[in-house]
Structure 1
Amino acid sequence: MIRATSIIRREAVDEDLIVDMITLDHGDRYRRRIVLHADGGTALLLDLDKLDVLEDGDAIRLDSGWLVQVRAAPEKLIEVRTDDSLDLLTLAWHIGNRHVSAEIARDAIYLAYDHVLLDMLQGLGARTEIVERPFRPVRGAYHHHEQGGHSHHHSHGHSHG
C-alpha cells in the first residue's frame, strides 16, 4: 500500500504534483494513522509521526512524491447568530464551557449538529439554522506548542455541574 508520511500546507502545494483528491469530514481530517481511499481510487496509508489536522486545500505527500489534495466534506452543522455581538460572545462562552469544537466567523459560530446543544442555544436566545457546509473549527490554544514538539498539560479546576 502507498504510504503518506507528511502534510503539505495549502500555501505550499504544487498543483502539478496532485494526482488525486480526497474528501474528508472534520473527524477524518484529524488523524495520525489511517487507511484512506481518495476520490479517484488511490488507496493510501496515512502514517504521520504525530496527530495533526488536514485542512481544506492541504495535500498529503505520497512516498512517490505525488500529492493527494484534501477537500473538507460538507457536514450537518448548527449556525448560531444573534443581533448583538456581545450576545454572540456570551454564547461562545457557553459553547466553550462544553468543550465542543467550534468554527468562529465574524457574525456566526458553527458547531457540529447536536440536538442538545441546539436546544440549549435556542433557550439562550440564539438564532439557529441547520446548514450543510465544510466544518473548519478553531484549533486548540496549545496547538502551536504541540507542533513544536512539546505541549502544556493542565487541569481546568472547574466542574460542569
Structure 2
Amino acid sequence: MRRAIAVHRRGTWPEEEALDTVTLTFVDRHRRRIRLVAASEQAYLLDLPRAHHLIDGDGLELEGGGYLRVSAAAETLFEITAASRKDLLRIAWHLGNRHLPVQIAGERLRIRPDHVIAEMVTGLGGRVIELEAPFDPEAGAYHAHE
C-alpha cells in the first residue's frame, strides 16, 4: 500500500500530478495515520509525523511520487440564518462561547447537527435548516498555521 507522507496546502502543489482523489468528512480530515480509499478504490496509507487538519484542495504527497487530491465530503449540517446581522452575530457569539466548530458561509453559519444547539439558536431568533454540504469550519484564533 502506497503511503501519503506529506501535506501540501491547496494552491501550493502541482495539481496536474494528482493520481487520485480521496473524499473525506470533516472528522476524517483531521488525522495522522489512517487507511484511505480513493475514488479509484485504490487503498493508501496516510502516514504523517503529526495530525493535520486537511482542507478541500490540499494535496497529499505520495512516497515515490505523485499526489492525492483531498476533497471535502458532503455531510449533514445545520445551516443558520437570522433576520438581521445583529441577531446572526449574537448567535455566532453563543456558538463560539461553546467552542463549536462553525463555518461562515456568507450571511449563514453552518454547524454539525446538534438538536440542543438548534433549540438555543431558535430561541435566539435564528432559523435552522438541515442540508448536505462539505463542512470547512473556521480554524480558530489559537490554530497554529501548518
TM-score scaled by length of structure 2: 0.93
SS at match of 1:141: coil
Q: Where has structure 1 moved over 6 Å in runs of 4 or more?
A: none
Q: Is the 8 A contact 2:81 2:107 kept in 1?
A: yes
Please show how residues 97-108 of structure 1 align to structure 2 within 5 Å.
Answer: 97-108=97-108
Shift of 1:141: 1.5
Equivalent residue letter for 1:13: W
2:62 & 2:42 partners in 1: Cα distance? 10
Structure 2: runs of 5+ lacking an equivalent: none
Shift of 1:13: 2.6
Determine if the alignment matches structure 1 residue 42 to structure 2 residue 42.
yes
Once the two structures are superposed, what CA deviation does each residue of 1:109-140 show, in whole Å capped at 9, x if it has no partner?
A: 10011111111111211011111100010012
Shift of 1:22: 0.8
| Residue of structure 2 in register with 1:134 after alignment | 134
| Residue of structure 2 in register with 1:69 after alignment | 69
Identity of aligned residues (%): 43
1:14 & 1:28 partners in 2: Cα distance? 23
Per residue, is there more strand in 1 or in 2? Answer: 2
After TM superposition, the structure 1 stretch with the greater mean CA deviation from structure 2, 8-17 or 64-73, is 8-17
Shift of 1:50: 1.6
Once the two structures are superposed, what CA deviation does each residue of 1:7-47 show, in whole Å capped at 9, x if it has no partner?
A: 12110231321111111010001111111111112211111
Once the two structures are superposed, what CA deviation does each residue of 1:36-93 show, in whole Å capped at 9, x if it has no partner?
A: 1111122111111221111101111110211110111001111111121111111011
SS at match of 2:119: helix
- How many residues of Structure 1 are paired with residues of Structure 2 in the alignment? 146
Q: Is the 8 A contact 2:87 2:124 kept in 1?
A: no
Structure 1: runs of 5+ lacking an equivalent: 148-161
